[in-house]
Amino acid sequence: MKLNKLTRQEEDIIVRKGTEPPFTGQYGNFFREGKYVCRRCNAPLYLSRDKFDAHCGWPSFDQEIKGRVKRIPDADGQRTEIQCAACGAHLGHVFLGEQMTPKNARHCVNSLSMKFIPKEELKLETIVFGGGCFWCTEAVFLMFPGVFSVNSGYAGGAKENPTYHEVSSGSTGHAEVVKIEFGPKEISLKELLEIFFAAHDPTTPNRQGADFGSQYRSIILCTNEKQKKEAEKYIKAAQKEFQHPIVTEVDNLDKFYPAEGYHMHYYENNRNQPYCRLVIGPKIEKIKKKFNP
């Protein structure tokens, strides 16, 4: 493994496991979209969507990119160190149970342990999934660290700039969908398809549970021909797992219209609402048991 040359100050943190003074790091009060990688070996560590302001003086994340950070109990038994899983570089410590975010974890990381790569330099792919109410679909995919972003919206119809009320009427041709940006090196399209088909019933035309209408149909809208071919191949192979025919539409994405602001991150912001507790919550637990995100 090729390692980057470190300054004396970086070595003090990364090799000798020091801690930079609070409120002095480059990424403390920093919230651009992008990815954080290990300063010593360039391995991906965190996504900007998982960063939050913990008011503690160091960059804080409530989730790492799966498999990229390892945890090691400190010798004193009081704290848990976090290291880059690829090269063992010291990152900081992780704290659980503080109730700062719904994920209930705080990775307290030294800025000098990381480098930031802005979103525009990442090789992200985009795909659109519709599998019933987008509140459910969004909540499912937001659990997976390889997913860079999830945005609820409308697609698959003809009407320009539709509203939620118009789409809900079933007259626009649009479906409730989520647009997913993902890093193929962190999570593959095949993995996304596995999650998508586990999160809804692809054999019920224009229906998911108690939701009826074409706006709730099962649909995959691709942004390139490679995605489309892979989705079609996956569906053909997956058919043997279902008793009834899969009715999922596969097409090219024409236009995605973002949903109104109050729909974004609906589950995280409304966990005590009956629909979230009775419908989305159980679905989340089902997906967690199957995929262990």
Residue 249 placed within a domain:
yes
- Quote the pLDDT of residue 77: 82
Q: Which of 59, 90, 119 is the last residue of a domain?
A: 119
- Tally the residues of the chain: 293
Task: Calculate the dihedral angle through the C-alpha atoms of 170, 171, 173, 178, rounding to the nearest 10 degrees.
Answer: -50
Task: Dig out the tokens for 132 from the structure.
Answer: 């019933």
Q: What is the CATH number of the domain that holds 98?
A: 2.170.150.20
CA-to-CA distance for 44 and 47, rounded, in angstroms? 8
- Quote the pLDDT of residue 13: 97
**Counted domains in the chain:** 2
Residue 159 placed within a domain:
yes
- Quote the pLDDT of residue 1: 83
CA-to-CA distance for 84 and 63, rounded, in angstroms? 14
CB 253 within 8 A of CB 128: yes
CB 200 within 8 A of CB 161: no
CB 155 within 8 A of CB 195: no
Rg of the Cα trace of the chain? 21
**Is the pLDDT score of 72 beyond 90?**
yes
CA-to-CA distance for 234 and 109, rounded, in angstroms? 39
- Mean pLDDT over residues 183-190, rounded? 92
Claim to verify: residue 169 and residue 278 sit in the same structural domain: yes
Claim to verify: residue 106 and residue 182 sit in the same structural domain: no
CA-to-CA distance for 283 and 91, rounded, in angstroms? 34
**Is the pLDDT score of 153 beyond 90?**
yes
Other beta carbons less than 10 A from residue 260's beta carbon = 11
Q: What is the CATH number of the domain that holds 164?
A: 3.30.1060.10
Helix axes 189-199, 225-238, angle to 10 degrees: 50
The predicted model scores a pTM of: 0.84
Confidence of residue 76 (pLDDT cuts 50, 70, 90): confident
Claim to verify: residue 148 and residue 280 sit in the same structural domain: yes
- Mean pLDDT over residues 176-191, rounded? 94
**Is the pLDDT score of 185 beyond 90?**
no
Give the catalytic positions in this structure. 133
Residue 1 placed within a domain:
no
240-253 CB burial, b ≥16 within 10 A, e <16: eeeeeebbbebeeb
User: pLDDT: is 232 or 65 the higher one?
Assistant: 232
Confidence of residue 146 (pLDDT cuts 50, 70, 90): confident
- 75: number of CA atoms within 13 Å, CB side? 0
Claim to verify: residue 49 and residue 190 sit in the same structural domain: no
Claim to verify: residue 104 and residue 14 sit in the same structural domain: yes
Please tell me the least confidently modeled range out of 76-80, 171-175, 219-223, 253-257.
76-80
**Is the pLDDT score of 34 beyond 90?**
yes
Mean pLDDT of the chain: 95
3-class state of residue 34 by DSSP:
strand
Residue-range definition of the domain harbouring residue 40: 8-119
Q: Which of 57, 92, 119 is the last residue of a domain?
A: 119
Claim to verify: residue 98 and residue 130 sit in the same structural domain: no
